[in-house]
Structure 1
Amino acid sequence: MKRKALPVLRKTSIAVAAASLLLGLTACGSSDSGSSGSDPSEPLRIGASPSPHAEILGYVKQNLAAKAGLELEVKEFSDYVQPNLALDDGQIDANYFQHKPYLDDFTKSKGIKLSWVAPVHLEPLGVFSKKVKDLNALPQGATVAIPNDATNGARALKLLADNGLLTLKADAGTEATEKDVATNAKGLKFKPLEAAQLPRSLQDVDAAVINGNFALEGGLTPATDGLVLEKPEGNPYANGVVVKAGNESDPRVKKLVELLRGPEVKKFIADKFKGSVIPAA
């Protein structure tokens, strides 16, 4: 009986071992893809808008990174959605294109966990026009294009309010919409568009409120072409570095932030963008 039982026991042991091996392989394969980018020996893959973010990162990569022992791979994105999705699913290790109010709204609406690391620069939002040279010259019923995402749309309305074109309800806050406009003496009509499309809209509207990076990409110089710009003092919309939650202590990220906030990059920003981009405090 014992001799007959042995083969059965052996087969059972082999089956258990095989099942354990399969379970181990499956567990490895099902690990969160976003956590794989924390190996300090690998290049830091970072997503960025072409201008000014990728230009600033390009300066760091060419002039500062090697000396600091940092290897960068910069991937450019042309919109405000894909860089966060790519970060969430592990295609990149960090991104640099957005301000914290946008990040907070995006992560809440998408149900993903990304973490703000540090601010780097401010791109003052501006009002641009091909038809008037002064905001007060906007005609009655003028059409003004604004960003269609919640945070930058609210930011655009606040800029218009700060310059006397309308007033907002007292409790409008950073999520203001057209419904929060209290008075609109000129009867302005708002045309929400994807932020990247705003520079091209200038031929079709009376004015557009454009994010600094897309103004630069569209051939505009905010410091000289903008009819008005946001004030930097107390401005919550500084752009900064973001990682997937849990990777805040990645030594490569810490090293990059130190370089981006250092004196060499601040001087590069000042010299290159001449007031259209401003280093964060």
Structure 2
Amino acid sequence: MRKIIKASIAGILTLALGLGVAACGSTNSSQNSNVSSSQQSTAGKDGEKKIVFGVAPGPYGDMVKLAIQPELEKKGYDVELMEFSDYVQPNIALGNGEVNVNLFQHTVYLENFAKEHKLELSPVISIPTASMGIFSKKIKKLEELPDGATVTLPNDVPNLARALRFLVQVNLITLKPDIDLTKASENDIAENPKKLVFTPAEAAQLPRTLDSADIAIVNGNFAISAGLKLSEAVAKEKLDEPYKNVIAVRTQDKETKFVKDIEEIVKSQAFRNVIEDDKNIFKDFDFPEWFSK
């Protein structure tokens, strides 16, 4: 049985770990974020065959639908997908039992969010992740970038910091020493030899800035949603392992049968076949170390 429940959460910070998200929908997940323990879903517990999977629309939701959900259904599970339009509610919903598992974030974000919100959440396994890309309609390679070029990049704290680290990777800027790299901002730039002009914008809107900006730093999922190909990026971010997206569950569920089944599926040849299929978008993703090609 395949059901998709879409949740639209207005006015909450859009983040992109992994993870970025732009979704539509109209159910009550934001209104139900304070469900009592008696109202929590029992899906996924030992002996139960129903799993509510929290996803972000775009490539990670597609990854669940194409590579994980069918294999879970073969094992007899009834899988529901609940879509979220931000990077706050999926973990709140996981913590309070509205969903049993989610896929949208990297380990660093998961651990920081769980600590700040006093939630017991744990990663299960990392998955192929769409890296950020530098896109442009004006240049084909970074060496062509002129002095004083305009750069659009995400305006939310995690993705702004990530974009700046990406610019360090490609030798366009340096950052001040001894700063928190997960919260870096334009004020933390030490050297900017090309005198780049930075214009932050909402992450989901960055593809629309390509007509005016010299380059735009776009999260992979937003790029894909806008019809941009990661293979055509001027440069692609190289992700460290802690910044590759993970499947997450409540810590108390870590050793349950349904979690073990999900991990087994992600490590299976069936999952690999979907990921490596040239018809799908995942082949251009950044792969976790365990996923040797």
Same fold (TM over 0.5): yes
2:81 counterpart of 1:74:
yes
TM alignment of 1:1-281, pairs within 5 A: 30-31=36-37, 33=39, 36-40=42-46, 41-60=48-67, 63-172=70-179, 174-175=181-182, 176-223=184-231, 225-231=232-238, 234-271=240-277, 272-273=280-281, 275-280=283-288, 281=290
CA distance 1:96–1:133, change in 2 (3 Å): same
Kindly provide the amino acid, as one letter, of the partner of residue 161 in structure 1. Answer: V
Q: Which structure dedicates a bigger proportion of its chain to helix? A: 1
- 1:24-66 residue CA offsets vs partner (Å, 9 max, x unmatched): xxxxx95365574453414110111222212111123564223
Q: Which structure has the greater CA radius of gyration?
A: 1
TM-score with structure 2 length normalisation?
Answer: 0.76
- Please give the alpha-carbon distance, in whole angstroms, between the structure 2 residues aligned to 1:172 and 1:88: 31
Cα distance change of structure 1 residues 61 and 156 upon mapping to structure 2, 3 Å threshold: closer
Amino acid paired to 2:250: K
Name whichever of 262-271 and 211-220 sits farther off: 262-271
Structure 2 SS opposite 1:95: strand
Runs of at least 5 residues in structure 2 that lack an aligned partner in the other structure: 1-34
What is the TM-score with the length of structure 1 in the denominator?
Answer: 0.78
| 1:217-255 Cα deviation digits (max 9, x unpaired) | 1111112x21101235x4431111112332222321221
Question: Quick one: distance in 1 between partners of 2:212 and 2:116?
Answer: 31
Closer, same or farther: CA 263–151 of 1 in aligned 2, 3 Å: farther
Conserved? CA contact 1:52–1:213, under 8 Å: yes
Aligned equivalents of 2:187, 2:284: Cα separation in 1: 31
Shift of the 107–256 alpha-carbon distance from structure 1 to 2, 3 Å rule, reads same
Report the identity percentage.
39
Counterparts of 1:146 and 1:83, CA distance in 2: 24
